[in-house]
Amino acid sequence: MSNGRSHQCSMESSRSRWTSCRSQDDGKCGLASNDTEVLVPSPGQAYANAGLQHTNNQIVLQNIDNVGATGVSGQAFRNIASAFGFNPGDAKDPATAYDMVGKGLERSALQAAQSMGPQTNAGLAAQVAANGSTHYTPAAIKEITKLNDAITTGAQSYQPGLERAIAANPSAGVFAKRSFDQAWGANFDPRIYQMYNAAKSGDAAEVNSIVSSLGGKNSAQFKALMQKAANLQKLSNTGVLQ
């Protein structure tokens, strides 16, 4: 606490996999002032590759600005190349280095999306590509990295919900998964998880940027996104929306 400002981020219950972030005046948790409360997902542990993907994304964000404007700077690109299994010797210039990183991030994002079922994956391929370009830039790579990390966090929330849906109706077999996937795909929006990741890392500017892009916290778009967040919370915690 400082300067009379208050800030609280707490788990809603021991069973909840979501975090309630409340911010007053200081905008922490990435939210505007005036005591705004937003539900955002807190990841479970079931997505086996999530830890590695999160680590790789952080390596990219920490190093991409140091890939040289003329020639490929040594250690910065070697760090990224190691995370994605690239051969640093294959990149002789920054444009090639950016392309390699961008394509690796696209691949990782789509792999994470595929783990959430066809309804979720179908709409994300174009979105992932739209965050980059034919010739990637550091700014484009950062946007892909943030999207990638959001999808990975989403996959972590998806898996426990799917397991609960199947456990609640084991006789339904594949139909239980199909029903869950349809509900998840109808509500999934990576911006929900981008806000969570930004709030978790203390990046208030990033979450405020997302809120502003939706028209502010009082806009219909923002309220619709928060309704989807609540639906995803229920799906992750119970496996059903009813």
- From CA 159, how far away is CA 142, in angstroms rounded? 26
Query: Domain residues of the chain, as ranges?
Result: 1-42+189-242, 47-156
Using a 10 angstrom Cβ sphere, with 0-12 exposed, 13-18 middle and 19 or more buried, the burial of residue 78 is middle
- Residues in contact with 131: Cβ distance below 8 Å, sequence separation at least 6, in sequence order: 140, 143, 144, 147
| Predicted local distance difference test score (pLDDT) of residue 129 | 67
The helix/strand/coil state of 45 is coil
For the chain, 242 residues long, give each residue's pLDDT as a single digit of tens: 344 433 333 333 323 333 444 333 333 333 333 444 444 443 333 366 778 888 888 888 888 888 887 778 888 888 888 888 888 888 888 888 888 888 888 878 877 777 787 777 766 766 676 666 556 888 888 888 898 899 889 988 999 999 999 999 888 878 888 999 999 999 999 999 999 999 998 999 999 999 999 999 999 999 999 999 999 999 999 999 97
Global pTM? 0.72
Kindly report the length of the chain: 242
The helix/strand/coil state of 65 is helix
Q: Do 101 and 80 touch, CB atoms closer than 8 A?
A: yes
Residue 115 phi, psi (nearest 5)? -70, -10
* Count of alpha carbons within 13 angstroms of residue 226, beta-carbon side: 18
DSSP 116-185: T-HHHHHTHHHHHHHTS-SS--HHHHHHHHHHHHHHHHHHHHHHHHHHHHHHH-GGGTHHHHHHHHHHHH
| Predicted local distance difference test score (pLDDT) of residue 125 | 67
130-180 residue pLDDT tens: 666 556 888 888 888 898 899 889 988 999 999 999 999 888 878 888 999
Q: Do 28 and 17 touch, CB atoms closer than 8 A?
A: no
- From CA 204, how far away is CA 30, in angstroms rounded? 3
